[in-house]
Structure 1
Amino acid sequence: MLNQVIKTAKEAGQKILEFYDTEIEVITKDDDSPLTKADLAAHHIIVDALKEIDPETPVISEESGIPDYQERKDWNKFWLVDPLDGTKEFIKKNGEFTVNIALIENEKPVLGVVYVPAFDVMYYGEESIGSYKKEGERSAQKLNSPEFKAPGSAKIVVSRSHGDDTTAKKLKTLNIEVSEEVPSGSSIKFCLVAEGKADLYPRLGPTMEWDTAAADAVYRFSTNNGVKFSPLKYNKKTMKNPYFLLGINEYIDVENL
């Protein structure tokens, strides 16, 4: 099934690129976030494919709306999709946008595929095989990066669209000194931690479950020994994530720093 999901993510990414070199028309959604024809085209490709690959399992996509909690609260398994994560980066044409497809079981991602179409880079992870990065036609490389242990000096990923100067100050209260900031867009930030290009991803701002699920799987399984700790849970009532600190092997309440 993983190979079919990888193929689907690539198909959706190639469709997105058809819009990338044109004048991008932007619609503003009710929550003030941007929407483009590329989002919707990728959404239809992915949802249609998942219905064929796994017809018994429900699908939630950012562009399909959130089913009522009473309907989904007892779901043990569902697909969670962001057809175009990083729409702002897509509009800016900086390449840092992704296709995210995750399978959630019992509040955790058990499979995740993150495709970066502008650079033809595929990240994928599943507990039984671990996590991998595949660049173009090159062979896939297994990801195995250590978890950060405080106190210490850390290279952190920061959002290219939502960065501010308070993160380093807040991390300092945890005895973590920021040695370098690595700006990035979309769910690529998780993947940079998974492949060891950064130590931590502190997110002190809002995200939704579909923003993080697929890349969270890539991070969790980017080890040769068990599963890494992630503070995130899925299928919550609002589907909003709390603020979080990814890359460290313990839960830290960063909302109250």
Structure 2
Amino acid sequence: MLVNSPLPHLTLADILERTIELSQAAAVILKSYYRGSSEDLQVLDKAEGPVTVADKAVDRHILAGIQAMCGDSCGYLTEETYQTGDLELSQEWVWIIDPLDGTRDFIDKTGEYAIHIALTYQHRPVLAVVAIPESDLLYAAIEGGGTWQITTDGVRKAVRVKQGKQITDLVVVASRNHRSEQLVQLLAKLPCQQQRKVGSIGCKIASIVEHHADLYVSLSGKSAPKDWDLAAPELILTEAGGKFTHQDGSLPKYNQGDVSQWGCLIASTGEWHQQILDACE
């Protein structure tokens, strides 16, 4: 269901265009840090993973741009500004931002890092951008409007997931750095055993949209993916024809106080989604 915009003078399409511009500028900032020295990153190891000056610089850039556009009409939830114990934001419209998804891959120079920006309405994403700087690609979507791939020189094309495979031939995209024994055991239960290792969740979902993989499974343990890890990639995938749900088939909800998305989540091309859910019980 399409919804109105949080701003009377801008449509969601207008807001998306401005968000794309912000994301493209943010990608340039990240690439400049990526090509610098490791010492320049000033890596700080935190309980939930490392953070760098690049995370913070891009967070400031994106947040300043979106707040200048939306002001107090929206709430803002970002990885770099969230404090443990924060309550659910009261606004119906909330921006959920990850300025650098895949910080470990950024530090390790795998190239598999991304920028996630999502606008949610009543706890569900309605607008999203996932930028992958090292691929010079950006993915953008509005609820009901499909998913578009955009190159740095402005070429746009609609993208859709690829279906038509047998379930045993599906390729699972798996994490490089977050592979608990529980997840390894769960993946071993699946009817498909081909795996492709990719870093950022944004990059994982892009690999499904670009037909390099068909399935992604997340399983929480001591920690779990956060709202900013999933909100933008979810809409990019579903508007491209895929599915993204909890193991019980329910849709993720965002900005509910606890930003951790506990349990098992499955993202797929949609064709064998129920069978994968059943296999993950």
Aligning the two structures, in what range does the TM-score lie when normalised by the shorter sequence?
Answer: 0.7 to 0.9
How much does 1:19 deviate? 1.4
Alignment partner of 1:13 is 2:38: no
Kept after mapping to 1: 8 A contact 2:243/2:267: no
1:26 is aligned to 2:46? no
- What is the one-letter code of the residue matched to 1:233? K
Q: Name the % identity.
A: 26
| Candidates 130, 138, 147, aligned match of 1:131 | 147
Q: Is the CA contact (8 Å cut-off) linking 1:168 and 1:177 kept in structure 2? A: no
Equivalent residue number for residue 214 of structure 1: 232
**Other structure's SS at 2:228 match:** helix
Distance 2:142 2:164 in 1: 22
8 A Cα contact 1:222 1:228, kept in partner:
no
Q: Within 2, Cα distance between the matches of 1:154 and 1:246?
A: 12
Letter in 2 for 1:181: Q
Q: CA deviation at 1:191?
A: 1.8
CA separation of 1:138 and 1:43: change in aligned 2, threshold 3 A: closer
**Cα distance change, pair 252–75 in 1 and its aligned pair in 2 (3 A):** farther
Q: Secondary structure at the match of 1:196?
A: coil
Q: Are 1:197 and 2:225 counterparts?
A: no
CA distance in 2, matches of 1:108, 1:193: 21
TM-score, length of structure 1 as denominator length: 0.86
Q: How many residues were matched structurally? A: 250
2: distance between equivalents of 1:148 and 1:245?
19
Cα distance change on mapping 1:237 and 1:252 into 2, 3 Å: farther
Please list the CA deviations of residues 28-78 of structure 1 after superposition, one character each: whole Å capped at 9, or x if unmatched: 354251111111110000000001121211111100114855452x43220
The 2-side partners of 1:20 and 1:69 are apart by 31
Query: What is the CA distance between 1:199 and its match in structure 2?
Result: 1.2
Once the two structures are superposed, what CA deviation does each residue of 1:91-115 show, in whole Å capped at 9, x if it has no partner? Answer: 1112111111001112211111011
Task: Provide the residue aligned with 1:159 in structure 2.
Answer: 175
Q: Which residue of 2 aligns with 1:49?
A: 65
Establish whether residue 252 from structure 1 lines up as the match of residue 277 from structure 2. Answer: yes
The aligned amino acid for 1:162 is H
Residue identity matched to 1:246: A
Higher helix share: 2
Unaligned runs of 5+ in 1: none
- Once the two structures are superposed, the pairs formed by residues 51-200 of structure 1 within 5 Å of their partners are 51-55=67-71, 56-66=73-83, 70-72=87-89, 74-137=90-153, 139-146=155-162, 152-163=168-179, 167=183, 169-171=185-187, 173=189, 176-178=191-193, 180-186=194-200, 187-200=202-215
**RMSD, aligned CA:** 2.7
How far apart are residue 194 of structure 1 and its match? 2.6
- Conserved in 2, the CA contact under 8 Å of 1:220 and 1:230? no
CA contact (8 A) 2:87 2:256 kept: no
Distance 1:144 1:70, change over 3 A: same
Q: TM-score, normalised by structure 2?
A: 0.79
| Structure 1 residues 16 and 190: CA distance shift in structure 2, 3 A | same
